[in-house]
Structure 1
Amino acid sequence: MKTLALFNNKGGVGKTSLVYHLAWMFADRNIPVLAVDLDPQANLTAMFLEDNRLLELWDDGQNLTVSDSLLPLMNRTGDIRDPSVESLHPSLWLLPGNLALSRYEDLLSETWPKCLGGDEAAFRVTTAFHRIILKAVGKTGARLVLVDMGPNLGAINRSALIAADRVVIPLTPDLFSLQGLKNLGPTLREWRKGWKKRLEELPTGTGIPVPDGEMRPAGYVVVQHGIRDSRPVVAYRRWLDRIPSVYREAVMGDSISQPPEPDKDPFNLALLKHYRSLMPMAMEAHKPMFFLKPADGAIGSHVEAVRACYADFEALARRIANEVGVPLE
Structure 2
Amino acid sequence: MATVITVANQKGGVGKTTTAIHVAAGLARRESPTLLVDLDAQANATSVFIEQPPAMDQSAHAIFREKKPVRQIAVPTRIRHLHLAPAVLQMAEIETLLAGNVDGFFRLQEALQGTHYEYVIVDCPPNLGLLTVNALVASQYLIVPMLASKFSLDGIRTILDTCETVRSRFRSELRVLGALLTMFDPRTAVSRLMMEPVEERLPVFATRIGRSVVVEEAHLMHQTVFEYDAKNRVAIEYDALVQEILDGIKER
Q: TM (normalized to structure 2)?
A: 0.89
Q: Deviations over 1:58-115 (max 9, x none)?
A: 4x5xx2101124333xxxxxx436631120133000001122122221344413xxxx
Percent same amino acid among aligned pairs? 24
Are the aligned partners of 2:63 and 2:108 in contact in 1 as well (CA < 8 Å)?
no
Does residue 284 (structure 1) correspond to residue 239 (structure 2)? The answer is: no
What's the counterpart of residue 59 of structure 2?
65
Please state whether the residue corresponding to 1:8 is helix, strand or coil: coil
What's the counterpart of residue 208 of structure 2?
271
Q: Report how far residue 40 of structure 1 moved.
A: 2.4
Q: Report how far residue 267 of structure 1 moved.
A: 3.4
- How big is the alpha-carbon RMSD for the aligned residues of Structure 1 and Structure 2? 2.3
Distance in 1 of aligned mates of 2:224 and 2:163? 31
What's the counterpart of residue 235 of structure 2?
310
Does residue 103 (structure 1) correspond to residue 78 (structure 2)? The answer is: no
Q: What runs of 5+ residues in structure 1 fail to find an aligned partner?
A: 73-78, 112-121, 197-212, 249-265, 294-302
Please state whether the residue corresponding to 2:226 is helix, strand or coil: helix
Distance 1:96 1:163, change over 3 A: same
What's the counterpart of residue 105 of structure 2?
126
Residue in structure 1 matching 2:76, options 82, 87, 94:
87
| Aligned length in residues | 249
Q: Report how far residue 307 of structure 1 moved.
A: 4.2
Amino acid at match of 1:101: M
Please state whether the residue corresponding to 1:41 is helix, strand or coil: coil
Q: Deviations over 1:22-43 (max 9, x none)?
A: 2111111211110001122222
What's the counterpart of residue 33 of structure 1?
34
Are the aligned partners of 1:67 and 1:100 in contact in 2 as well (CA < 8 Å)?
yes
Does residue 20 (structure 1) correspond to residue 21 (structure 2)? The answer is: yes
Please state whether the residue corresponding to 1:242 is helix, strand or coil: helix
Q: What runs of 5+ residues in structure 2 fail to find an aligned partner?
A: none
Structure 1 runs, 4 residues or longer, greater than 4 Å off: none
Amino acid at match of 1:34: L
Are the aligned partners of 2:24 and 2:82 in contact in 1 as well (CA < 8 Å)?
yes
What's the counterpart of residue 153 of structure 1?
128
Please state whether the residue corresponding to 1:271 is helix, strand or coil: coil
Are the aligned partners of 1:108 and 1:156 in contact in 2 as well (CA < 8 Å)?
no
